[in-house]
Structure 1
Amino acid sequence: MSEQNEPTVQNQTSQQAASALQAESEHVTHHTITLDGKEWAYDATVGTITIDTATVKPAASVFFSAFTVVDAQGNPDARRPVTFIFNGGPGSASTFLMMGSVGPKRINIPDAVPEPAAPYDMPENPDTLLPESDLIFVDAPGAGFSQVVEEAKKELWSVDGDVRGFSAFIRAWLSKYHRWNSPKYLLGESYGTTRGAALSFRLQQDGIALNGLTLLSNILDYGFTFDTSDQYYIGYFPTYAAIAKYHGKAGAGVSMDEHLQQARAFANGPLRQALWRGDQLGAAERERVAARYAELTGLDARYVIDSNLRVLDDRFRKQLLRSEDSIVGRYDGRTQGLDMDRISDVETFVVDDNFMEPPYNALGNAYLRDELGWEGRPERKSHAGFEWGATEPGKGWVWWHQLPPRAISSFGDKTPFPKVTPDLATALVRHPRMKVLVCNGFFDLATPFGQTEYDIDHMGIDASLHDNIAFTYYPAGHMVYTNLESYKKFAHDLKHFYAATPEDMPEINERPSQPTADEMR
């Protein structure tokens, strides 16, 4: 009897799930933009695609904003690249990248200072990536205008379920718009780099070889986000030094590049050795290391000693400008603001996040609804509604990650946190023509560039494959595009990247050589 009823129950569940989602739809508007004297016609498509999970069908309605160059007859060119673009979170909408980076329009607000209230300006973007690639901005399930049914949250709100969901969306989009034979790229920011690295391998398993992958503001191994690891403090140190130099607290008389090379050498030499020795470190050596630490970061040497040579990033943000009654931003250390509790070691709010989110949200809604014609019923959400502290699947994010076959791990084939360098390494080994661009802001305290350099150096791949990877750097924070100078460089670097062959990648690479053993003493 139960076997006869089971299909009926499943059908009822599917019908309920479908009714909870907005119907699959699209709305197209037609536009032109003039770039360097040439007029480009493009269609802007806002819509949703429904995806399934292994156990829930349908599971989510994924919202996208696609900008596609068309010819005089209004037809796209299937030979042009397509780039799937997503923010991080996890569980974020694509608002920041869509409004601030490579799209055909770009928000115009002041940089690294409190933003004025509405109205905001959004002119055409002369540095858009549109001549090089059609652009598809994707909202994660449950964020932006994307929706997810309750039964599917425990799958899609997880490291691996999220990657499978994005792969399902990409394959469905390619099918719907007949772009399977187009060159394919990904561009992910922040947790979007975690997703992007894992997705590069997942897509291979699903029959797609990427032409290129752009990783902006990277977090590739969550094992080093825990302050119990010595590498946490080593990875953060060059960013501390960069921010101190910017605010005039360190590095007088030398260039930023020279100052950062000194910081790299110290972090990977004296600091690493001192942290490794732990309680066996002598008092005299501790004082010598603390003095150099203070010299490079602008902190007081006594504060460094009292911190046991282990200064947490939130304490650094509070301490650097304490004498000026200011705190610095987490996403952009150039930003400074006031705090509600001067005595506390931890700032009472994230200053730069509070400055930037209102204008991006306001213009994101206005652009998608008023100009591009989206009429979906739900309110746009900047982030999916899971609980950060929850551990129950479906209520919180599930951080376990399935490693690629043969990856070395003492946990077996799964880790309790995402370490996606094995995914990226496997993708490169299996497809050695894939290009990778690794973009870093000097003043980013959310995803420090020193840790990214370490992660890429420890993928365990053949030296020849490292030539496929190029690093670029920007005098900005986490969202490098919020600074106009940095954005123009970022846009230029992307155009160079899309035009490059894998053999050209060393020409793009800006990463300095590692400090020598003598420099690290």
Structure 2
Amino acid sequence: MRFRSAILLVALFAAITPALSNAQSSDASQGASRRGVLALLPSDSVTEHQLTIGDKTIAYTATAGTLDLFGQDGVQTGSIFYTAYVKKDGGPDRPLTFAFNGGPGAASAFLHLGLVGPRILDFGPKGDDGANARLVDNPQSWLDFTDLVLIDPIGTGWSRTAKADDASKYYSVNSDAESVAKAIALYVAHNNRSASPKYLLGESYGGFRAAKVAGALKDSQGIIVSGAIMLSPLLEGQLMFNADQFALGAALELPSLAAAEMDRRNAFDDAKQREAERFALGDYLTTLAGAPPSGETAKAFYAKVAGMTGIPQDVVEKNRGFLGNAYRKTTDGQDDRVASPYDAAFTTPDPYPESAYERGDDAILDGFTRAYGGAFADYARNELGFKTEMTYSLLDSDVNRQWEWGGRGGGSRLQASVTDDMREMLASNPAFHLLIAHGYSDLVTPYGVSRYVIDHLPPALVDGRVALNVYRGGHMFYTRAEQRAAFTADAKAFYGVRPPTSPAD
């Protein structure tokens, strides 16, 4: 009997050894896929929260985690970090919005803690104190009307490739769009959200990305989006990046300079802004497009441009009306201050007053808004439970420098364009609606460019489906609490039954 029992034990051990071996092999394989920097990424963290908006309390689940990307050989190539906020008992058909920033090279913390998330970074009473910024509940969180998934593309936030040398493979218009589309498809599949109306929200280059991702989702993943919101978007590079050389680009930029001048004097006036827009595409455009004016005609023209923009008349005349970056150090003749292209109404002390050209960091992009990075890393660790020793990359200039603009949009940022993408999405998808939002005094992506693009789309595609809304402020106008509230109200209407409408001219 003992002999037979021994045989049974040996047989049992032999039977379970392969299973143990396979399990160990699987664990080893999974560990191997997370070698290098990816080994610093923890498991997904799921936490429960509540948020009060108005007179209602929203219970929601927050997930901070990663979506893994694999090559054709089944080997992991990278991980994309995301944060999802889902309302409890919201139902599988509740709207679902995927949001990302731009750069290229920017993480989603800007939109996350600046606009849509349940927590927001308060920069103090003047809205520019990054050193003492603090997280507070967001009374205008978009969680009120849509579930949210904020995505950090490869090279931003905590999204990385398995091999450092492979990161540049994602730094192009098309590969970036495909990887973000893949991440969206993975989230939809993992969370059974195929029935949800899907929306895209992108800021700056993220607006450009939204158009490309919408196409990639349709073509590669079989997912049709219901709409997109482009915030301060890049739409046409040739109209944006040559404003100091070509008449049309300069004319589309001029209204933003006029708005900034009025904002600096706390004298913004809608009627005067409309007048500036008419002048820009009228006498200003035709004068710049022709031979330089002379005599009294020249004096009157340059005086009008100077009065409208706050740039000294001699500077306007020296530049023949092409203002380019002239406003940066000459606005209102304040030699000791410098303006930011991200909001030309925002001026700070000039660190190099002896220089004829602006130097140093931008007061907005490199100033107080950098606090979004540290604030999000702390928030993710202490409130969302995502604890990693990896550095959170808010804005990576190396990604921007390495970016390849080739493909359908052209070979450089000057040829970057999503006009065709917008036309085809509107034509092929009757459910698709588009809301474009800008700040008046943004000189990085002037609202005049988007208006020009919309005005030149086929009317049959635009009517009732495309809107341009403009708000006080600059590229990140949502850092102004009252403008954030106004934009959120417009976005809420966009998600409703009613189509978006443009403000009356």
Could you say whether these structures have the same fold, taking a TM-score greater than 0.5 normalized by the shorter chain as the test?
yes
Q: Structure 2: which amino acid aligns with 1:493?
A: D
Q: CA deviation at 1:489?
A: 0.5
Q: 1:509 aligns to what?
A: 502
Distance in 2 between residues matched to 1:107 and 1:121, nearest whole Å = 6
- Structure-1 separation of matches of 2:87 and 2:202: 22
Q: Within 5 Å, which residues of 2 pair with 1:109-258?
A: 109-110=123-124, 114-115=128-129, 117-118=131-132, 120-148=133-161, 149-206=163-220, 207-224=222-239, 225-226=241-242, 227-248=244-265, 256-258=269-271
Contact 2:259 2:273 in 1 (8 A): yes
Identity of aligned residues (%): 28
Kept in 2, the 8 Å contact 1:56–1:151? The answer is no
How far does residue 17 in structure 1 lie from its aligned partner after superposition?
6.9
Structure 1 residues 452 and 34 mapped into 2: Cα distance closer, same or farther (>3 Å)? same
Contact kept in structure 2, 1:27 and 1:374, CA below 8 Å: yes
The superposition leaves residues 309-353 of structure 1 with CA deviations (integer Å, 9 ceiling, x where unpaired) of 1111x3212110433622222212332211122232324331122
2:502 corresponds to which letter in structure 1?
Answer: N
Q: Is the 8 A contact 1:112 1:352 kept in 2?
A: no
3-state SS of paired residue (1:400): coil
CA-CA distance at 1:257 after TM superposition: 1.0
Q: Are 2:386 and 1:380 equivalent residues in the alignment? A: no
Could you say which residue in structure 2 is the equivalent of 1:31?
49
Check 1:370–1:321 CA distance in 2 against 1; reply closer, same or farther (3 A cut).
farther
> What residue is the counterpart of 1:99 in the other structure?
113
Write the letter of the residue equivalent to 1:425.
R
User: Against the structure 1 CA distance between its residues 117 and 63, is the aligned structure 2 distance closer, same or farther, given a 3 Å change threshold?
Assistant: same
Task: After TM superposition, give the deviation of residue 112 of structure 1 in Å.
Answer: 5.4
Give the alignment partner of residue 329 of structure 2, picking from 313, 318, 322: 318
What SS is found at the alignment partner of 2:117? coil
Larger of the two Rg values belongs to structure: 2
Preserved contact between residue 432 and residue 465 of structure 1 (Cα < 8 Å): no
For the pair 1:456 / 2:454, whether they are aligned, the reply is yes
Distance in 2 separating the partners of 1:386 and 1:323: 34
Alignment of 1:285-434 (within 5 A): 285-312=297-324, 314-323=325-334, 325-342=336-353, 343-384=355-396, 386=398, 388-389=400-401, 396-402=402-408, 417-434=415-432
State which of 471, 477, 480 in structure 1 corresponds to 2:477: 480
The one-letter amino acid paired with 1:102 is: V
Tell me the secondary structure at the aligned position of residue 320 of structure 1.
Answer: helix
Shift in alpha-carbon separation, 1:242–1:208, aligned structure 2, 3 A: same
Gaps of 5+ in 1: 1-13, 390-395, 404-410, 513-521
Q: TM-score, normalised by structure 2?
A: 0.86
Q: What is the letter of the counterpart of residue 430 of structure 1?
A: S
How many residues align? The count is: 470
* Deviating more after overlay: 20-29 vs 130-139: 20-29
1:62 is displaced (CA, Å) by 0.3
CA offsets per residue over residues 90-149 of structure 1, 9 Å max, x none? Answer: 12111111111111111122365541524x322211221112111011111111111123
Q: State the Cα RMSD in Å.
A: 2.6
The offset of 1:24, in angstroms, is 7.8
AA matched with 2:131: A
CA contact (8 A) 1:198 1:423 kept: yes
**Alpha-carbon spacing, 1:466–1:117, altered in 2? closer, same or farther (3 Å):** same
- Per-residue displacement from partner, 1:232-278 (whole Å, max 9, x unpaired)? 211210000001111229xx7xx621111111111101111112114
Q: TM-score under structure 1 normalisation?
A: 0.84
Residue of structure 2 equivalent to 1:265: 278
- For residues 453 and 56 of structure 1, do their structure 2 counterparts lie closer, same or farther at Cα, with a shift above 3 Å needed? farther
